[in-house]
Amino acid sequence: MRAHAECQYQFIRSIWDDRPTSPSLAEGLHIQRIMDAAERSSEQGRWVELANM
């Protein structure tokens, strides 16, 4: 719980200080695509190409 609170604090602090947040939206989207591919791979029992997403 403490780590989550720290992440939230850093996110809000970045907005307050007018500096980029980390991870960025683009980085979050990239990771989400990887997680979706991993889930699909598990369901289908095979490798899934990220380029095919």
pTM: 0.62
For the chain, give the mean pLDDT: 89
Helix (H) or strand (E) holding 35: helix 25-44
> Among 26, 23, 41, 27, which residue's Cα sits nearest to residue 50?
41
In angstroms, the CA 39 to CA 45 distance is 10
pLDDT digits (tens, 9 = 90+) for 17-38: 999 988 888 888 999 999 999 9
What's the full length of the chain, in residues? 53
Instruction: Quote the pLDDT of residue 52.
Output: 52
